[in-house]
């Protein structure tokens, strides 16, 4: 019986491990099985600096698009840092397998280092967006129309103002688009 329980626990925690002992852990087998085909194998090659659980608290639990404009599909996963329980987004570029951590202990834009507030995320395919500008004391000044070169990730609280995460000039940028 004990052997059966251990086997069951092992199957529930499918872990992609690396030589530096860091991992992305899928606590539900169906999460791993629902990844796009190219990424389920590619994750074994990804090098990361921390260990994460894949967070299945949002639907969908991953986003797939060409975020950096190189012609290859990239993957975004909502993750939970195993040490701090802080939530963030891990973006993996499909061509190079480079990783970019937003939140989950790393400050990024106005989202901070913990994205527990993020209840909505989706792809933004628009070519234009309105970027909110602020005065020196933090009050909203106005908005300016900006051209987007790549597909962005739209993030928001439930029924709250949205923000965009977009690849620009070799890095991810936070664009505040709401009030």
Pick the more confident residue, 102 or 45: 102
pLDDT confidence of residue 42: 62
pLDDT tens-digit map of 90-128: 999 989 888 899 999 889 988 889 999 999 999 999 999
Highest mean pLDDT among 11-15, 134-138, 151-155: 151-155
| pLDDT confidence of residue 52 | 81
Per-residue pLDDT tens for 70-92? 999 999 999 998 889 999 999 99
Mean pLDDT of 17-40: 65
How far is the C-alpha of 38 from the C-alpha of 56, rounded, in Å? 20
Whether residue 46 is predicted with pLDDT greater than 80 in this model: the reply is: no
- Above 80 in pLDDT, residue 38? no
Per-residue pLDDT tens for 52-75?
A: 888 888 889 899 999 999 999 999
Mind listing the pLDDT tens digit for each residue in 159-173?
877 899 999 999 999
What average pLDDT does this structure show over 28-44? 71
Show the beta-strand stretches assigned E in 34-170. Answer: 52-54, 62-65, 74-81, 87-92, 99-103, 120-124, 128-134, 140-147, 152-156, 162-168
Residue 90: what pLDDT? 92
- Stated pTM of the model: 0.80
Instruction: Specify the residue for token string 């087998």.
Output: 29
Determine how many CB atoms are found less than 10 A away from the CB of residue 8.
Answer: 9
By the 10 Å C-beta count (0-12 exposed, 13-18 middle, 19+ buried), 115 is classed as buried
């Amino acid at each position: 019986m004990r052997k059966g329980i251990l086997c069951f626990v092992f199957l529930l925690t499918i872990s992609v491990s690396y030589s530096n002992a860091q991992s992305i852990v899928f606590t539900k087998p169906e999460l791993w099985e629902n990844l796009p085909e190219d990424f389920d194998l590619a994750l074994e090659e990804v090098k990361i600096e921390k260990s994460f659980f894949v967070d299945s608290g949002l639907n969908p639990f991953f986003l797939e698009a060409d975020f950096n404009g190189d012609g290859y599909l990239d993957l975004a996963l909502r993750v939970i840092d195993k040490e701090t329980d802080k939530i963030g987004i891990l973006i993996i570029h499909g061509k190079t397998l480079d990783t970019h951590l937003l939140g989950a202990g790393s400050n990024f834009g106005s989202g901070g280092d913990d994205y527990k507030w993020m209840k909505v995320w989706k792809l933004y395919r628009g070519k234009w967006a309105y970027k909110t500008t602020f005065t020196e004391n933090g009050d909203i000044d106005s908005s300016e129309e900006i051209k987007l070169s790549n597909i962005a990730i739209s993030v928001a609280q439930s029924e709250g103002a949205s923000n965009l995460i977009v690849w620009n000039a070799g890095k991810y940028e936070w664009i505040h688009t709401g009030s």
